[in-house]
């Protein structure tokens, strides 16, 4: 068996759904995309700032000859998604944050494959899952794992777009695979369905408007609150509508199957969560990286967007929270939910408030 076939066979044994190979020439096409996006201020800021490092694999591994790109499906079957019976108010977490953190799951698989390459094939390796400077989607595109959809996601013919990506750089020479053509055709469903109009045109995301970004953003201006609906982490709208996901194979990776608190959490539970419970739950998912406060802030925003006045009391309670950011979010969320009816609650808070910033926000809304 040649090296390539040996790696493919081993990857299947490890439970890697998709695998492709590309060379280590700099990604000049992607460089142009990144330069344009930076000029337009469309980048999220979560990416490595060094574009040259992002597009040149040799800056990550000098003697690299091949990049092995992998995809693992998280297209969890709907009957594996537990939903509570009684909700005070239901929130939504994107699929990419259901179950165990994908960085950990893919890293385990990549580590096994790297060890195989090192021990059985005598190759050097370095692996990444969203953890290096390189651009995972560009590597996947070049390795023929899938094509770039108009929603910017990599879409695989069999598994659709609910796939996580990772890669191994190696000094072994392996024949590269061909890229695959886009199958989007005339469809523009993702662009039409984006609640934030973040897909400014086909294949072009303004990350600063994307709800996925907003749910992860530390300093979130209140004018974005309404766009976020009831999402407390990530957003799946442009993938949910995609016809390619309707017929895609389902994931059998049980690590990505969510717990009851995970996919559609009760937002009042999230507000009441202490550090211990956060550590045992959300902190183990990919949505935990921004911390407990971030999820609680988003839960308050979602409750403010609910149009359900019966839950105003839970937001009102958060006006008395120790954390200034949480008090600030609660003011806007309460006002968003109740309008002028929130004024007596805000005035009551004013009697105890000591922070000048918060006092001035309440004063502006109330008087």
Smallest gap, in angstroms, from Cβ of residue 262 to ligand B12? 14
Alpha-carbon distances of 27 from 35, 154, 197, rounded to whole Å: 12, 16, 28
Interface positions, 121-160, toward ligand SF4 (CB under 6 A): 149-151
Interatomic CA distance for residues 234 and 6, integer angstroms: 37
Tell me the three state secondary structure of residue 66: strand
Rule CB under 6 A: choose which of 87, 203, 224, 289 binds ligand B12. Answer: 203
Smallest gap, in angstroms, from Cβ of residue 182 to ligand SF4? 7
Rule CB under 6 A: choose which of 34, 211, 217, 232 binds ligand SF4. Answer: 211
Residue from 23, 130, 171, 269 carrying the catalytic annotation: 130
Stretch that binds ligand B12, among 77-85, 115-123, 151-159, 249-257 (CB under 6 A): 151-159
Rule CB under 6 A: choose which of 6, 65, 88, 130 binds ligand B12. Answer: 130
* By CB under 6 A, residue 101 contacts ligand B12: no
Interface positions, 190-209, toward ligand SF4 (CB under 6 A): 190, 194, 196, 198-199, 205
Place of tokens 């039409």: 192
Smallest gap, in angstroms, from Cβ of residue 10 to ligand SF4? 31
| Strand positions, DSSP E, the chain | 18-23, 66-73, 92-93, 125-128, 147-148, 154-155, 163-170, 199-201, 204-205, 231-233
Smallest gap, in angstroms, from Cβ of residue 279 to ligand SF4? 28
Residue 36 burial by Cβ neighbours in a 10 Å radius (0-12, 13-18, 19+)? exposed
Long-range contacts of 178-181 (CB under 8 A, 24+ apart): 178/144, 179/141, 179/142, 179/144, 179/147, 180/144, 180/146, 180/147, 181/147
Stretch that binds ligand SF4, among 117-125, 186-194, 321-329, 358-366 (CB under 6 A): 186-194
Q: Tokens standing for 94?
A: 């994107």
- Total binding residues toward ligand B12, as defined by CB under 6 A: 38
Interatomic CA distance for residues 103 and 19, integer angstroms: 17
* By CB under 6 A, residue 349 contacts ligand SF4: no
Stretch that binds ligand SF4, among 74-82, 126-134, 242-250, 287-295 (CB under 6 A): 242-250
* By CB under 6 A, residue 92 contacts ligand B12: no
CA 158, distance to chain mean position in Å, is 22
Cβ-contact 82, 156 below 8 angstroms: no
Residues contacting residue 289 through CB under 8 Å, at least 6 positions apart: none
Stretch that binds ligand SF4, among 52-60, 111-119, 210-218, 351-359 (CB under 6 A): 210-218
- Residue 143 touches which member of ligand B12, ligand SF4, none, C-beta under 5-8 Å by kind: none
Interatomic CA distance for residues 211 and 200, integer angstroms: 14
Q: Pattern 210-229, binding to ligand B12, x per CB under 6 A?
A: x-xx--x-------------
* By CB under 6 A, residue 105 contacts ligand B12: no
Which residues of this chain interact with ligand SF4, rule CB under 6 A? 149-151, 184, 187-190, 194, 196, 198-199, 205, 210-212, 235, 237-238, 241-244
For the annotated catalytic residues, the residue numbers are: 130
């Amino acid at each position: 068996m040649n090296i390539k076939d040996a790696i493919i066979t081993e990857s299947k044994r490890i439970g890697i759904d998709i695998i492709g190979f590309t060379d280590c020439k700099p990604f000049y096409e992607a460089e142009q995309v990144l330069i344009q996006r930076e000029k337009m201020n469309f980048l999220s800021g979560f990416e490595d700032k060094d574009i040259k490092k992002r597009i040149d694999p040799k800056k990550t591994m000098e003697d690299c000859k091949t990049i092995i790109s992998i995809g693992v499906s998280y297209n969890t079957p709907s009957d594996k998604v537990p939903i509570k019976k009684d909700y005070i108010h239901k929130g939504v977490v994107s699929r990419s944050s259901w179950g165990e953190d994908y960085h950990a799951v893919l890293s385990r698989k990549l580590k096994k494959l790297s060890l195989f390459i090192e021990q059985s094939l005598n190759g050097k390796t370095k692996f990444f899952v969203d953890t290096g400077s390189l651009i995972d989607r560009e590597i996947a595109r070049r390795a023929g794992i899938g094509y770039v959809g108009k929603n910017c996601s990599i879409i695989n013919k069999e598994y659709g777009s609910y796939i996580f990506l990772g890669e191994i750089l190696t000094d072994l020479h392996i024949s590269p695979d061909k890229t695959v053509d886009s199958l989007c055709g005339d469809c523009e469903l993702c662009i039409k369905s984006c609640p934030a109009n973040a897909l400014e045109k086909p294949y072009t995301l303004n990350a600063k408007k994307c709800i996925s970004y907003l749910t992860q953003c530390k300093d979130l201006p209140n004018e974005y609150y309404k766009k976020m609906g009831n999402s407390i982490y990530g957003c799946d709208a442009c993938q949910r509508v995609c016809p390619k996901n309707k017929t895609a194979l389902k994931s059998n990776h049980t690590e990505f199957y969510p717990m009851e608190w995970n996919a559609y959490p009760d937002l009042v539970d999230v507000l009441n969560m202490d550090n211990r419970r956060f550590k045992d739950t959300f902190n183990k998912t990919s949505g935990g990286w921004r911390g407990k406060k971030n999820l609680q802030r988003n839960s308050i925003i979602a409750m403010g967007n609910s149009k359900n006045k019966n839950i105003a009391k839970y937001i009102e309670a958060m006006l008395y929270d120790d954390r200034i950011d949480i008090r600030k979010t609660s003011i806007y969320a309460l006002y968003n939910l109740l309008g002028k009816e929130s004024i007596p609650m805000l005035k009551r808070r004013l009697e105890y408030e000591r922070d000048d910033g918060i006092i001035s926000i309440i004063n502006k809304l109330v008087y």
